[in-house]
């Protein structure tokens, strides 16, 4: 009987220590993985100053919300024009220390959206001096995986500080 109990305890311990870490992949996880690749390619196109490539990642009815007060839900055309201004104002644009995160819906459920924190580093085209922008952004996507909305958060005054 002692051997039986000892065997039972050992078996229970072995089962409890089984490190089967199989992770279920949900539809939201799959959407996030796909959308993350799109968001990263979108940023890479910005850093390369390729506004045409950037525009290929967004929907026709894309809505952009920059941080400036009173500028919310701007159209794709207004966004595109502003990207041209940024690309003409800055050189050597890089996004550093990115922290990519899964987004959630209003009920705090994963929804395939993408959030990112990071630093935009650049040089002013006019002076060659360095610019630094602490940055947070959210992306929401349509069913085809294109960016439908982009909400950006940063101190807009930092866009003009030369270091």
More confident residue, 3 or 123: 123
Cα–Cα dist 149/61, whole Å: 9
Whether residue 30 is contained in a domain is answered as yes
Q: DSSP H helical segments within the chain, as ranges?
A: 2-16, 27-47, 51-56, 76-89
Cα–Cα dist 14/130, whole Å: 58
Tell me, what CATH number does 34's domain have? 3.10.450.50
Whether residue 4 is contained in a domain is answered as no
Whether residue 111 is contained in a domain is answered as yes
Whether residue 108 is contained in a domain is answered as yes
Residue 69's SS3 state is: coil
Q: Are 130 and 163 in contact (CB under 8 A)?
A: yes
What is the tens place of the pLDDT at every residue in 54-110? 999 999 999 999 998 777 889 999 999 999 999 999 999 999 999 999 999 999 999
Q: What is the DSSP letter of 103?
A: E
Whether residue 46 is contained in a domain is answered as yes
Whether residue 138 is contained in a domain is answered as yes
For residue 88, the enclosing domain spans 26-160
How many independent structural domains does the chain possess?
1
Q: Is residue 149 over pLDDT 80?
A: yes
Determine how many CB atoms are found less than 10 A away from the CB of residue 130: 13
Whether residue 19 is contained in a domain is answered as no
pLDDT for res 157: 86
pTM over 0.75: yes
2 Cβ contact list (under 8 Å, min separation 6):
none
What is the tens place of the pLDDT at every residue in 106-140? 999 999 999 999 999 999 999 999 999 999 999 99
Whether residue 49 is contained in a domain is answered as yes
**Count of all residues that appear for the chain in the document:** 163
């Amino acid at each position: 009987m002692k051997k039986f109990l000892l065997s039972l305890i050992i078996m229970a311990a072995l089962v409890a220590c089984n490190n089967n870490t199989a992770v279920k992949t949900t539809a939201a996880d799959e959407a996030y993985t796909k959308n993350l690749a799109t968001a990263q390619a979108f940023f890479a196109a910005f850093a390369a100053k390729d506004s045409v490539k950037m525009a290929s990642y967004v929907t026709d009815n894309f809505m952009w919300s920059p941080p400036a007060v009173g500028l919310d839900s701007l159209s794709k055309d207004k966004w595109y024009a502003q990207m041209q201004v940024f690309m003409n104002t800055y050189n050597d644009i890089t996004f550093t220390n990115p922290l990519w995160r899964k987004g959630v819906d209003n009920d705090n459920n994963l929804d395939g959206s993408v959030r990112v924190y990071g630093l935009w580093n650049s040089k002013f085209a006019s002076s060659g001096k360095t610019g630094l922008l602490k940055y947070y952004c959210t992306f929401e996507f349509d069913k085809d995986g294109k960016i439908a909305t982009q909400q950006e958060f940063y101190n807009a005054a930092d866009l003009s500080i030369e270091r």
